[in-house]
Chains A and B, each alone.
With several copies, the nearest count.
Chain A
Amino acid sequence: MARMSMIEAIRDAMTVAMTRDPGVVVFGEDVGYFGGVFRCTQGLQQKFGASRCFDTPISESGIVGTAIGMAAYGLRPCVEIQFADYVYPAYDQIVSEAARLRYRSNGDFTAPLTIRMPTGGGIFGGQTHSQSPEALFTHVAGLKTVVPSNPYDAKGLLIAAIEDDDPIIFLEPKRLYNGPFDGWHDRPVTPWSKHPLGEVPEGHFTVPLGKAIVRRPGAAVTVLAYGTMVHVAIAAAEATGIDAEVIDLRTLLPLDLETIEASVRRTGRCVVVHEATLTSGFGAELVALIQETCFYVLEAPIGRVAGWDTPYPHAQEWDYFPGPGRVGDALREAMAG
């Protein structure tokens, strides 16, 4: 075991994957010599050479488009989009090509590639460095969508993603890169080196895709969260004293409905939290599934706490961010319902 920040864990995952499989290649804007604007790929070019880790032109569609070609050839590209907010130029390649290649060719060609991107707000990045576009991927058949909430998962999930034979959207909550941010933005953040989930096994291991985990057991209400919101939800449970069970989804698609259902069947109440805008967010799908599978045990409406339906503002960041205050309100509402 080693102590790692999330950045280090992600870097370590790529190092492990590249060492084990010469077909793993890593590229994107500023990821080569410099090692990425968040330094997630630092040292990989020196270690594996410029043919396996390199800088690209600023063209997200080119990055994903060439990665698809490479994946079809037989490599396993793991590419970086500098911010999730900049993935849209590549959206066509992801949705029309990567997601459908296996299906449309009946397995003649496949696209085993991982698309990493920092996601979420909390760093005063304004509307182009704060977005959470996961729901734009969960709607697309053929993609898997993963959001780790800590270094341990980040490493295990990223290795699993790179080794997976399907295209994967890997969203890294940038507010968690250095510590488990719980949404109390006016309090200091503990670094990962002081957090149990900063303990990360050395070498190869995986966290299986499609498996959620209970982060905080509880009996009163189930909270479904992922990424940064896992920590916010735990903080809200603590702050309100409500005996909430916090489930960290880890993979949004395929979703671990079993774990969710088991919990909601016990608690009879549920709150869903995400940072993305509310309307048509992934929370809507979660609500739809739970009300379908747990209708007769639900004692209150399922609450949703999410980013407001506006672009992500700069100055009003903490009014926008679904912090422990808003999540706490939703917990109280769910208990009162």
Chain B
Amino acid sequence: MSEHGPLSLHVPEPEGRPGDKPDFGDVVIPAAGTVARPPVDVPPEEIRELAYTIIRVLNRHGEAVGPWAGLLPDGDALQGLRDMMKVRAFDARMLTAQRQGKTSFYMQCLGEEAIACAFQKALSPGDMNFPTYRQQGLLIAGGYPLVAMMNQIFSNEADPLTGRQLPVMYSARSHGFFSISGNLGTQYVQAVGWAMASAIKGDTRIAAGWIGDGATAESDFHAALVFASTYRAPVVLNIVNNQWAISTFQGIARGGAGTFAARGHGFGIPALRVDGNDYLAVHAVARWAIERARRNLGPTLVEYVTYRVAAHSTSDDPSAYRPKEESDAWPLGDPVERLKNYLIGRGVWSQDRHAQYAAEVESEVLAAQKEAERHGTLHSGGKPSMRAMFEGVYKEMPPHLVRQRRKAGV
């Protein structure tokens, strides 16, 4: 027997479970504007503290403050608000459509809209995102047609992916949006490979990897950091920490590390932590990281601190594992409200215009849905062909698939 007594297993638990009063007292939120903005060629070891704080621009009064503020013209910020509102309206409609049986599955990004929308605007044409299923904002802010997204969600006859993929697993090379994999983490290292290819070719395009807090535990996260670090790949490695991975709170994936951003330190990769519900902060940090990549200074790890307001997916019911009021208690607020208040404060927006645009975007989404539904929904109307099921496995259909297709009578 050891002089120190028996060992025991530590199993981390979240602050609150259903029935508990939500408590984010442990989440240290620095005041907006208090974190320095280093030059992009700063040596990583000089900015380690940026992985343990939160870069914030919008304060409680809706003002943009500090060294990361003042970088976005009002017009762009207005566009950002509209993008986020469109994403939210889109999500709401598609959620309803799923409930109505028009598709099998849907995933919202409620509360996290600022991240993808603002990041997309910091990219240049030709750059490539390797998104997860919760970055619909990249497509919508990037101007990808809502109808095409809906066709995919409905798996209808106009689905660009011919019904092969689960709803929301879009692919849009033209819009810098890599084909989403349902497998967590795999695309993170592919983003690094894409960026390495760009460097090998002497190109100027950069890549962005996306991963959730939970999925950082996957092995490919490590592979991505190892390769990015070794070859100084021009890639921005984004971690969306929305506090939950289905029913599992972020402490299970994070373990004893203070933050997910800290993971970068083991690789000499500069790591920044940013308020993911602050459009201006996200955009400013994204620009910083993208500039580093573009200037061949290598990868940057960015952790977006946010909260998954909705259920994980339409197959999930969060009331079984977290307090119902937790999302209200979330201290970083609502990204749409915060940007709206900022713009109203700037005098370029108003409650009325907001309500008006909300109605407009609602009809835009509705119109898109009508158009999409003309091509069918999962269980009614136009369908992708059964032939399409056999195609595209290889560039040319090999004999065994020709035999099988024939056997299937198509």
- Report Cα–Cα, A52/B321, bound state, in Å: 19
Do A52 and B389 touch (CB < 8 A)? no
Assess whether B276 is interfacial by the CB under 8 Å rule. Answer: no
Query: Contact between A126 and B386 (Cβ–Cβ < 8 Å)?
Result: no
Q: How far is the CA of A142 from the CA of B397 in the complex (A)?
A: 10
For residue B104, CB closer than 8 A to chain A, the reply is yes
Let me know if B182 and A127 touch, CB within 8 A.
Answer: yes
Residues of A within 8 A of B224 (CB): 62, 65
Q: Which of A75, A85, A165 contacts B183 (CB 8 A)?
A: A85
Distance to closest chain B CB from A189 (angstroms): 17
A62 vs B163: C-alpha distance in the bound complex, in angstroms? Answer: 30
Per-residue contact bits, chain A 249-268, to B (CB 8 Å; 1 contact, 0 not): 00001110110000000000
Whose C-beta in chain A lies nearest to the C-beta of B14?
A33
CB pair A313–B163 under 8 Å, yes or no, is: yes
Q: Which residues of A contact B230 (CB under 8 A)?
A: 56-57
In angstroms, Cα B223 to Cα A61, docked, is: 7
Q: Which chain A residues have a beta carbon within 8 Å of chain B's beta carbons?
A: 23, 25, 29-30, 32-34, 37, 50-52, 54-62, 65-70, 72-75, 85-86, 88-89, 92-93, 96-97, 101-110, 124-129, 141-142, 144, 164-166, 210, 253-255, 257-258, 278-279, 308-311, 313-316, 319-320
Interface 0/1 of B377-392, CB less than 8 Å to A: 0100001101011101
Residue of B nearest to A62 (CB): B223
B residues near A165, Cβ cutoff 8 Å: 395
Say whether chain A's binding surface is mostly helix, strand, loop, or mixed. Answer: loop
* A81 shortest CB reach to chain B, Å: 12
* Chain B contact residues, CB within 8 Å of chain A: 8-9, 11, 13, 17, 104-105, 128, 130, 155, 159-167, 169, 171-173, 178-179, 181-187, 189-201, 207, 214-215, 217-220, 222-224, 226-227, 230, 245-248, 252-253, 255, 315-316, 320-321, 378, 383-384, 386, 388-390, 392-395, 398-401, 404, 408
For the A-B complex, the count of residue pairs with Cβ-Cβ distances under 8 Å equals: 275
In the bound complex, do residue A69 and residue B219 qualify as a contact, i.e. CB atoms below 8 Å apart? Answer: no
Residues in A neighbouring B173, C-beta threshold 8 A? 105, 108-109
The answer on a CB contact under 8 Å between A55 and B218 is: no
Q: How far is the CA of A34 from the CA of B105 in the complex (A)?
A: 21
What is the minimal beta-carbon distance from A37 to any residue of chain B, in angstroms? 7
Residues on B with C-beta less than 8 A from A23 are: 201
Q: Once bound together, how far apart are the Cα atoms of A126 and B107, in whole Å? A: 15
A and B contact pairs by CB, cutoff 8 A, 30 listed: A25-B197, A30-B246, A33-B247, A37-B246, A50-B9, A54-B9, A56-B230, A57-B253, A58-B184, A62-B189, A62-B224, A69-B197, A69-B207, A73-B194, A85-B182, A88-B183, A92-B183, A92-B220, A93-B189, A102-B392, A102-B395, A104-B165, A104-B171, A108-B171, A127-B165, A142-B393, A164-B395, A165-B395, A308-B404, A314-B104
Q: Which residue, of A30, A85, A141, A258, has the highest number of chain B Cβ atoms within 10 A?
A: A30
- Within the complex, what minimum Cβ distance (angstroms) separates A66 from chain B? 3
Measured in the bound complex, the distance between the Cα atoms of B8 and A52 in whole Å is 11
C-alpha spacing A85/B401, complex, angstroms:
22
| Contact pick for B181, options A96, A107, A253, CB 8 Å | A96
Q: How far is the CB of B299 from chain A (nearest CB, A)?
A: 13
The residue in chain B whose Cβ has the minimal distance to the Cβ of A54 is B11
Q: Report the minimum CB–CB distance from B386 to chain A (whole Å).
A: 5
Contact A34 B320, beta carbon cutoff 8 Å: yes
- Complex Cα distance, B173 from A101, in Å, reads 12
How far does the Cβ of B263 sit from chain A's closest Cβ, in whole Å? 13
Known A-B contacts A102-B393, A141-B393, A165-B395; A124 and B164 likewise in contact (beta carbons under 8 Å): no
In the assembly, what is the distance between CA of A54 and CA of B408, in Å? 45
User: In the complex, A164→B105 CA distance in Å?
Assistant: 36
Contact indicator B183/A86 (Cβ below 8 Å): yes
Most buried by B among A70, A73, A107: A73
Contact in complex: A96, B389 (CB < 8 Å): no
Least CB distance from A102 to B in Å reads: 6
> Besides A104-B169, A308-B404, 10 other CB < 8 A contacts?
A25-B197, A59-B218, A66-B189, A66-B193, A69-B195, A89-B219, A103-B392, A124-B105, A126-B165, A314-B165
Contacts known (A66-B193, A315-B384); A61 close to B219, Cβ less than 8 A: yes
Cβ contact within 8 Å between A69 and B388: no
A60 CA to B244 CA, complexed, in Å: 18
Q: A50-B11, A309-B404, A316-B384 are in contact. Are A55 and B166 (CB under 8 A)?
A: no
CB distance from B139 to the nearest CB of A (A): 13
